[in-house]
Amino acid sequence: MLASQLPIEEPCSADWGAMSGDERRRFCGQCSKHVHHLSAMTEREAEKVLEDAEVCVRYEVDRDARIVFRPSRRARARAFVAAAVLASTPAFASGQAAEEPGILARLYDWLVGDVAEDVEPASPPEDAIPEVQDVPVEVPVPHVDTGIVPPDPKDRKMPPLMGRPAQRMPPAQTLPKTR
């Protein structure tokens, strides 16, 4: 979900850290309402909270202007399975899990064959190597001013927005759901 689909026209200045509650919901003493932290929820949980028209929310936005949500169990399970498959790939490829050589070892033998065992590395004659003296060499480095200022790492993450959302906007285009 894009932040533009859930605009907060008048952000609240109340201190989230001073409110009582947990990471998902805290009570605001200024307005006497519960504030729901959408970024601590999955997208599905946040959708249920947003069904209430009078809800106050807090959310974080990434650099692509998308609201950050907690990954669902399904997304975490997919990531775990993918990591397990990737972690086990070298064992299968090297043949460590089996008695016979792995596919990479067989491919190497097919490409190189017995040539590598018969060839000894050649060494150059001793008189062909000149003596090298340690002489410091200073190479001037030209300065080029491009006018580009590198981004400050602190500016990469936007501060969380908090307040009562304006009327929810329908999606301008169909975007893939973030998980």
**How far are the Cα atoms of 45, 46, 157 from residue 2, in angstroms, in the given order?**
16, 13, 15
What's the average model confidence in pLDDT over 56-81?
Answer: 83
What's the average model confidence in pLDDT over 79-106?
Answer: 66
What's the average model confidence in pLDDT over 16-24?
Answer: 91
The per-residue pLDDT of the chain, averaged, comes to: 75
**The predicted structure's pLDDT at residue 125:** 72
Per-residue confidence band for 25, with pLDDT thresholds at 50, 70 and 90? very high
What's the average model confidence in pLDDT over 157-178?
Answer: 65
**The predicted structure's pLDDT at residue 110:** 65
Residue entry with tokens 């929820």: 41
What's the average model confidence in pLDDT over 20-30?
Answer: 91
Is residue 57 over pLDDT 80? Answer: yes
**Is pTM, for the whole model, over 0.95?**
no
What's the average model confidence in pLDDT over 38-66?
Answer: 88
**The predicted structure's pLDDT at residue 118:** 56
